[in-house]
Structure formats: C-alpha cells, structure tokens
Amino acid sequence: MKPPGTTSLTRRYSARQGLDQRPRFSRRRRLAKPGRERRLRIVNYIGSKRSRLSFLERHILEFSSPETSWSFFDVFAGTGAVGRHFKRLGFRVISNDIQRYSYCLNRAYIGISQAPAFGNLARTLSTSLDPAPDEAADVVLGYLNQLSGVGGFVYRHYCLGGTLGGPFPRQYFTDENGKLCDAIRLQIEQWRQDDLISDDEYFYLLASLIEAVDKVANTASVYGAFLKRVKPSARKSLKLEKLEIIPSQKTHQVYQQDGNPLARSVACDILYLDPPYNQRQYATNYHVLETIARYDSPALRGVTGLRDYAHQKSDFCYKSKALKSLEDLIQNAKARYVFLSYNSEGLMSEQDVISLMKRYGKAELRQEAHRRFRADLNRENRRYRADQVIEYLFCLEKLA
C-alpha cells in the first residue's frame, strides 16, 4: 500500500522500441519486509532520500537481490541514507562523495561493520580495568562531552563571541557549543596523532561530532546563512552520541573523489546516481561542516564565511553541462544497471534523460508524486511551480 498522498506510475522505454506500458525485465521482485525501514539519524540535507527509501528499494529490487552478493555503488552519497539502507538489506556497498564531511559519515556508517572497541584509549579513560566492548564508545564519548571548551577555529570564525567586532559577525553556533566543538575536534586529532585510535575509531568519532554539531546549528537547515536570533534547538548543549553501526560480513568501500572519473575505474553491478538537481552547489550549503571535518583553518570570505570550493563544483548544477556529465557517467560506467534519482523540477528533463539512456540499453522510468513542502507562501519573487513534485527513478540495463 502506498503512503497517503502518493501515486505511482510506470513507463518503459528501450533502445529498439517506443513507449510500452508493460513493465519488463523484472526478474527478481522482492518487496520490503514489514518493519525493515528505520528512522535514520541523518544530517539535515538537501535532497535527502530518507523519505524515499521504500520507493527506491521496491523498484531497485525488481532487478536485483542482495542474496546475489551484488555490489551497490552510491557515487554521490551525501549523508549516506541510501547506502546505509542497501547495506542493511545485504548488498556490498561502495560509497563516494567529494565532500569531506560526507566521506567521514560514510566512512563510519558504510566502512565500519562492528562497533569499535577503542582498545587502549577506552582502558586509559575508564576507571575500570577493561571496559566491555559495548561500553567502550560510551566511555570515549562521555569523556569528549565533558571537555572544557577552547577558543579554536570554530569559535573564532562561526560564533558571535569570536567574530563580534570584526567585519563579519557570525552566529552559526552559540559560544559554548563552538568552543566545545573545537575542544572535541582537537582532542580527536591528537588521539590520532598519538596512535591511540584506529582509522575506524577516528571516523566514528568525527561522524558523531558532525551529526552532533548539525543538531545545534543556528541555521534554517543549511549553512548558506545563519539566523539572527538563536533558535531553541541551537541553545541545547552539544552532545556526541553513539552511532548505529550496521553489522555486515561483506567488505564495503568508501571513496572521496570526483564521481565521474571514479565510475570509470570501479566495477559494480548497480550504479546509483543521485546528483544535484538544480543550481545549488552542495559545497556552499555545507561549508561549515566541511571545515569542521577537515579542520584545516581555511581562509574565509564574506558574511557567511565561505571557504574556497572551486575544486568541488558539480557540473550537474549547470543546465548546459548536466546532461553531458550524465552521459559521461553512463557511457563509461562499469555497471550492469544504472539507476538515476531525479525529480520533475531538475535541470534535465524527463525526455532528455530517457533519450540519452535509450542509446545505451533498455530503460524504464518509475515515478511517484509527493506533496510539495512549502517553507513559505507564494510571493512576488518566489512562486512555487506546482503543489506536487514528481520523484523519478530512471532504470537502465546497459547493453553488453
């Protein structure tokens, strides 16, 4: 049964035929088991597929099954909602994103398959001689949460106390949360330099910090601007929490590279594409998280404190380049199937994408209508095109 307020339509296109209303090449159909989908703890993210996981699972599993040990390559992973879901289903997941904060999140959730024990570090911090494995993370996170704040990069550049009196006062975090973020970030880095934590443990802690700071950020949802007044959720104290690690016996891979050239070299069964739909560059909307992840003291500019992001710009954010970039991916991908998530308001039209896919194999389109979320009412300089947005899933079986 579809959720209230949604509709589902199916179309089929192929390289040799026109429109055919009968769905085909659905060799293995497996619907989601009741209760399988969970509420993921995920950073607020533009275009997140958290609410579309059932839709994606239902249709992608028409063409594959996790029992085959197939690989699922999420080349524009973002916060990793889709990759986590398909890891939980049993696929071998390959995850990639050019953003560092995204890499940290996916390195933890995709790259780690059992809770880290924190070895010598937990024994050093704990009053007991040998804390149990399931308690080690609590010991380490508890220690970090109780650190005294320091006036580091985050406080000096993203908090009112550190920027007041300068050319660009900023208020992304309260002073207390900014200082604690600095203290935690510096401690994590020091532990790594002292070889007290492994790579898995390092990225586990960074992922917990990234999620924690996003919860107390004084923004509407993205970091393109901060609020003039501190909102209630931003007044809460920064607190690191344990991550929900997904158990798996498979070997998963995580990359931080430009997706197009990477797709040429990484073989997979399923290539899943969720590129930007419009002109908004993700690097500008999440630049604060990028700086916290890297902690590289970059030069900042302007009211919002943007870091340089020229090397992270996506061609999918340009109408003149998006379709060409998609063709480069499809043509050179070492994949059996290519799935593209998109919607009816993207820079590429439905027909343009289908026409492109037809040149490389058999293509189908799944789509589902959803009520539009409106942050405000129509006004002179902002008018919504429609009351609904259509979520697309383009499905391509590449010709051998």
Give the pLDDT means over successive 10-residue stretches in the chain (400 positions): 39 36 39 44 64 92 84 96 96 97 98 93 73 83 97 98 96 98 98 96 98 97 94 98 96 97 96 91 92 98 95 94 97 96 94 97 93 52 65 93
Is 122 found in the same domain as 12? no
Is residue 110 in a domain?
Answer: no
CATH code at position 87? 3.40.50.150
What pLDDT is attached to residue 129? 55
Residue 348 lies in a domain: yes
Is 400 a domain residue?
yes
322 with 389, same domain: the answer is: yes
Note whether 229 and 185 are same-domain residues. Answer: yes
Domain total in the chain = 2
Specify if 181 maps to a domain.
Answer: yes
The pLDDT of residue 48? 63
- Residues 271 and 326 grouped into a single domain: yes
Residue 386 placed within a domain: yes
Q: Which residues contact 185 (CB under 8 A, 6 or more apart)?
A: 152, 154, 209, 292, 295
pLDDT for 340 equals: 97
Same domain, 10 and 71: yes
Cβ(96)–Cβ(76) under 8 Å? yes
**Per-residue pLDDT at 29:** 40
Residue 127 has what pLDDT?
63
| Strand pairing report for 388-398 and 335-343 | antiparallel
Residue 69 sits in the same domain as residue 122: no
Assess whether 149 and 286 both reside in one domain.
yes
Query: 360 and 257 share a domain?
Result: yes
Tokens found for residue 44:
């607020």
156 shares its domain with 303: yes
Q: Say if residue 304 is in the same domain as residue 259.
A: no
For strands 71-74 and 7-13, give the pairing: unpaired
H helix or E strand, kind and range, residue 93? strand 92-96
107 within a domain of the structure (yes/no) = no
Q: List CB contacts of 173: < 8 A, sequence separation 6 or more.
A: 154, 158, 159, 181, 213, 216, 217, 218, 234, 238
Q: Which domain holds residue 131?
A: 115-244+281-310
Question: What token pair was written down for 128?
Answer: 């007991």
Same domain? 30 vs 174: no
Residue 142 lies in a domain: yes
Asked whether residue 61 is domain-assigned, the answer is yes
17 φ/ψ angles, rounded to the nearest 5 degrees: -130, 165
